Structure 1
Amino acid sequence: MKDYKKQNEFDFTFEAVSSTLKNFENIANQSKSLNFFMGFDGYIDLLYNMVRNRKNVMEFEIYESMKDFGQKIVDTTGSSISIERSLKKKIGGGFAPNMARAIGNMSPMAQIDLFGALGYPKINPIFKNLPKNVNLHSIGTPGETLALEFSDGKVMSQDFGGIFALDWETVISRIGGRDNLISFFEKADAIGNGHWSLMPYMSSYLQHFLTDIFPNISNLKKKLFFLDPADLSKRSDGDIKDMLNLLMKINDFIPVVLSVNDREVFDLIRTLKLEDQLPLKKNDPTSYLLAGKKINSNLNFSYFVIHDPHFATISGVEQTKVFHYWITEGFTSKPKYTVAAGDHFNAGLLNALLLGMSPSESCIIANAATAIFVRTGQSPSPKDLKRFISHYFDYIKQDIDNFEINRN
């Protein structure tokens, strides 16, 4: 721990790990009073390895890298190809279910209301294995995601199913009316929304929150409003600008947390016309050093977060004080699972912020949550988080691709 070398002037990793471990028990005990609202998607996720060659029924070699898999397809242009896939996992997924699962495990005494496309009118059994502190409320039929996982990334292909039917009127009707939604928002300490780019009506949700819902809630300044926009390249610059403008208005009511990954930053920079100020380079973490700070100087969200397998930054304004921190991640070049890794980061971040942890400490929890998930495919418990953070610098120093989940 003492031999950790700061990566840059904003690197607060050493201090944040130390303070997180010091305060961990006191903070974890506060989770029993927390309530979360998560909406509004839901998918049946099918996660696959792609088979390079098969020796026999039991033994086969997989494509480790997306680049090799993609090159195989490119090389076959003009002809045809058959590639076997091997199922790794079938699970109920999407932003809301994944966040609920992760928070439910990290804060087992908290209560989570999950409003999602879980099966309608009957909930699909695949969503019924979520933690006991997750209350299921279905508003539609789930989509389906076929995900191809590699060590250097993933390819996700969605069939949106009933997701496209979830306009505002349908959502409100199936929640039980506007007053019912107001009641759930009133009791929630955090309101989570995702994935914006995949849900065509989500901007209208944000507008209705502003005009119909938030004016009727008493304690918004004490809550957090979380949004994960997901793959922004799917939407036009105009759509992205509209979403950002709505979020800036929402931030006047309730502190906003906007969390994006390293690829989505490029779309924000283009939309905000900051290319000259922020010449980012893909796969070069150092080029991201000031990205969050400069982007949020245009947006002024309470919290703006960029996460990457190598680092996280968090920028914002807290009691009129502007802050910007860099937190190094315990990267592994051999992740076992990548679908839902971002959701686990976001769950750790949101949970920690609500528990009163500082922005830098919250990124430590977020990094630990996603680091454990990519190594195990499971959501961590508080004990798992503490154990990982206790060895945080070992995972930075070495490329350790395993972690033992403890369910005792």
Structure 2
Amino acid sequence: MNAKNILNELSEKMATASTKSAIVGLDGFVDKIIKPVDSRFGQGADFEPIPTIEAFGQRIIDAAGESANIELYEEYEKLGGNGPIMANALVADGLKVQYIGALGQPMEAVFEEFAKNTNAVSICAPGITHALEFTDGKIMLGSMKGLDDLTLDRILEVMGEGAFIDAVNRADLIALVNWTMIPNMTAIFEGLLTRVLPNLGPKESGRWFYFDLADPAKRSRGDLKEVLNVISKFRSHGSVTLGLNLSEAKQVCDVFELGSVEEEADSLKSGATRIRNALNLPCVVIHPRSGAACATRDGAWYVEGPFCKSPKISTGAGDHFNSGFAAAEVIGLSPEACLMVAVATSGQYVRTGRSPSLRETARFIESWTSGSLSD
């Protein structure tokens, strides 16, 4: 398929996004952006930060056997978490979104505007990320205690069982992300399969599920295999897409002994196909930085991404890819067009730092594929 056909698809169907609704969840993080202090000259921001991760590491190493006092200067707080970022991007695409997740009890101030835009329901305290920024990267120190309270029973207690079932029943898209950081997420999936989804009526326009693991490296092989087998059962209730970055795809292939997958078009298509077949899923997507591939029952596709030499932001690029792909699926685009919309959504985000609309994505695709796109 060429870009013209994809743009025609998008042009014909993008208006239907406003008729679609989504439930997204379940994580939530308050990101505290921090500079470790090297030398202080006065109060507030009057200091010299520790410049590099190496220098910070050396400061810690030098304290071995003794002690150290390292001041952490908090520059600002912002909304974080895979779910909230994906939900914001779906709102920009025009979908009616309800967010359910860990936004605070009472709700943290950083989520207040987001909550208004997404009719959000807060279930418990969020995770806290202390993002120590250096000239050569970041060290993310996370506190996940609040996420221990994310359970299906707690969701039903806060929302009411009838209200939750009704919300799920009305949703065209149900996106459940960041399994890795939520200890009870597998149990939540199982509860949805046994206690909620059997109570839903048929949905003539279809129902889509989108899952993202969020780097399961710290979870056991057994945990990963278990949740993937649970995810595969959702196909009885709608169309299921599993979104993976390259590292996640390699881990899944390793757990199921499916061979290797590399950042090359044929390997990505083959890897997505092997994972899809092993789990009997309607769709599997693999999205490294260079492009993306997906496999369905009808075949496999690959599109190259719009590479950006100097991204304004990179955190959240994968969440924007997920939102672009999910939105495109829900409005009925072909797999190749879904890939194109997804990489274009992510490509715009890393260039501008904001979530684009589907109309903006169409203009971006036109500029990109015509060769007039500039970083």
**What is the TM-score with the length of structure 2 in the denominator?**
0.86
**8 Å CA contact 1:153, 1:338 repeated in 2:** no
- Note closer, same or farther for the CA distance 1:77–1:61 as it changes in structure 2 (3 Å cut): closer
Give 2:98's aligned amino acid.
D
Q: Provide the residue aligned with 2:295 in structure 1.
A: 315
Distance 1:211 1:366 in 2: 32
Deviation at 1:157, TM superposition (A): 2.9
Deviation at 1:88, TM superposition (A): 7.8
Deviation at 1:182, TM superposition (A): 1.1
Distance 2:81 2:136 in 1: 21
Residue from 90, 100, 122 that aligns with 1:115: 100
Q: Provide the residue aligned with 2:256 in structure 1.
A: 272
**8 Å CA contact 1:154, 1:339 repeated in 2:** no
Distance 1:49 1:190 in 2: 39
**What is the TM-score with the length of structure 1 in the denominator?**
0.80
Deviation at 1:252, TM superposition (A): 2.2
Report whether the alignment pairs 1:195 with 2:175.
Answer: no
Q: Provide the residue aligned with 1:342 in structure 2.
A: 318
Deviation at 1:268, TM superposition (A): 0.5
Distance 1:150 1:323 in 2: 44
Report whether the alignment pairs 1:27 with 2:10.
Answer: no
Q: Provide the residue aligned with 2:31 in structure 1.
A: 45
Give 1:90's aligned amino acid.
E
| Residue segments in structure 2 that go unaligned for 5+ positions in a row | none
- Note closer, same or farther for the CA distance 1:132–1:165 as it changes in structure 2 (3 Å cut): closer
Give 1:232's aligned amino acid.
P
Distance 2:370 2:98 in 1: 36
Residue from 245, 249, 274 that aligns with 1:294: 274
- Note closer, same or farther for the CA distance 1:212–1:350 as it changes in structure 2 (3 Å cut): same
**8 Å CA contact 1:152, 1:333 repeated in 2:** no
Question: For structure 1, which segment, 168-177 or 149-158, has the greater mean C-alpha deviation from structure 2 after superposition?
Answer: 149-158
The secondary structure found in structure 1 opposite 2:354 is: coil
Aligned length: 366
Root mean square deviation of aligned Cα: 3.2
**8 Å CA contact 1:16, 1:360 repeated in 2:** no
Give 2:200's aligned amino acid.
I
* Percent of pairs with identical residues: 28
Distance 1:21 1:58 in 2: 51
Q: Provide the residue aligned with 1:355 in structure 2.
A: 331
- Note closer, same or farther for the CA distance 1:169–1:82 as it changes in structure 2 (3 Å cut): same
Q: Provide the residue aligned with 1:233 in structure 2.
A: 217
Question: Which digits, 9 at most, give the CA deviation of each residue in 1:180-206, with x for residues without a partner?
Answer: 221111100011111001100010011
Distance 1:368 1:290 in 2: 23
Q: Provide the residue aligned with 2:151 in structure 1.
A: 167
**8 Å CA contact 1:149, 1:339 repeated in 2:** no
- Note closer, same or farther for the CA distance 1:153–1:370 as it changes in structure 2 (3 Å cut): farther
**8 Å CA contact 1:373, 1:380 repeated in 2:** yes
Report whether the alignment pairs 1:99 with 2:86.
Answer: yes
Distance 1:337 1:346 in 2: 16
Report whether the alignment pairs 1:242 with 2:246.
Answer: no
- Note closer, same or farther for the CA distance 1:77–1:116 as it changes in structure 2 (3 Å cut): closer
Distance 1:150 1:367 in 2: 28
Runs ≥4 residues deviating over 3 A: 46-54, 57-63, 69-78, 80-90, 147-156, 283-289
Give 1:390's aligned amino acid.
E
Deviation at 1:356, TM superposition (A): 0.7
| Residue segments in structure 1 that go unaligned for 5+ positions in a row | 1-14, 64-68, 402-408
Distance 2:70 2:264 in 1: 32
Q: Provide the residue aligned with 1:6 in structure 2.
A: none
Residue from 62, 83, 86 that aligns with 1:79: 62
Distance 1:143 1:358 in 2: 36
- Note closer, same or farther for the CA distance 1:253–1:383 as it changes in structure 2 (3 Å cut): closer
Instruction: Show the 5 A alignment for 1:61-76.
Output: 69=52
